[in-house]
Chains A and B, each alone.
Chain A
Amino acid sequence: GENVEQHPSTLSVQEGDSAVIKCTYSDSASNYFPWYKQELGKGPQLIIDIRSNVGEKKDQRIAVTLNKTAKHFSLHITETQPEDSAVYFCAASKGSGAGSYQLTFGKGTKLSVIP
């Protein structure tokens, strides 16, 4: 089955700096890669996702890049703010619609933004 590795497990950055979290996946058939943000005591919330037919996607301060050849994808957060502090999870799945039953998650990265 799919295996998703996520690094680093913890990351501390100064407010205003950039943060990068990296994930690798094992199944070349995977074609959907979401990123979830989990705040303390809450459920994960989707912040951005990318499909395998796209190399990069950006939404304001958040961007995701995908390298299908190397089977890795990354989350980039620019101009970090204290409210970005949370645990971030990457995930991978294959298929679409009826075929995309299962997300395989990485172990998470705890991001701390220091004011």
Chain B
Amino acid sequence: NAGVTQTPKFRILKIGQSMTLQCTQDMNHNYMYWYRQDPGMGLKLIYYSVGAGITDKGEVPNGYNVSRSTTEDFPLRLELAAPSQTSVYFCASKDPRGATQETQYFGPGTRLLVL
């Protein structure tokens, strides 16, 4: 299993541009999450999904959109990039059943710089 993969690893955007951060997991996990991590701060939840077709807002959803058309993929969309969205973005997934129902598995992250 590759686990949780994210692309791209790094991206520079100009203010007002848009982009999609890709996240794919091959563990057949129903739950998926998007977090952002700012320097010296913990991770903050942007959006989450409990299954294909179901998404909900987390703590800091403004400026982002998500979709979940398949179990494997959970892309994060930035429509009008702003400098405040400069951050490292992490995708995570978990299986809400069984012995590891609480464990979230994280991808390697996407570093985004908005200038």
Contacts and interface: CB of A to CB of B under 8 A. Distances in A.
- Give the one of A4, A32, A100, A103 with max B CB within 10 A: A103
Contacts, number: 65
Contacts of A42: 108-109
Nearest to B90: A43
A105 B43 contact: yes
B50 A102 contact: no
A98 B50 contact: yes
A49 B104 CA distance: 11
Contacts of A34: 102-104
Nearest to A106: B42
Interface string B81-101: 000000000101000110001
B2 interface: no
Contacts of B59: 1, 102
A108 B42 contact: yes
B45 A97 contact: no
What band does the interface of chain A fall in when counting residues whose beta carbon is under 8 Å from B? 20 to 34
Nearest to A103: B104
A41 B6 CA distance: 13
Nearest to B31: A101
B1 to A, nearest CB: 15
B102 A105 contact: no
Interface of B: 4, 31, 40-45, 48, 50, 56, 58-59, 90, 92, 96-97, 101-109
5 shortest interchain CB distances as A-B pairs = A105-B42, A43-B106, A105-B43, A107-B42, A97-B96
Given A9-B40, A34-B102, A43-B109, 18 more contacts: A41-B109, A43-B107, A44-B90, A44-B106, A46-B103, A46-B104, A46-B105, A91-B42, A96-B101, A100-B101, A100-B102, A101-B50, A101-B56, A102-B45, A102-B48, A103-B104, A105-B42, A107-B42
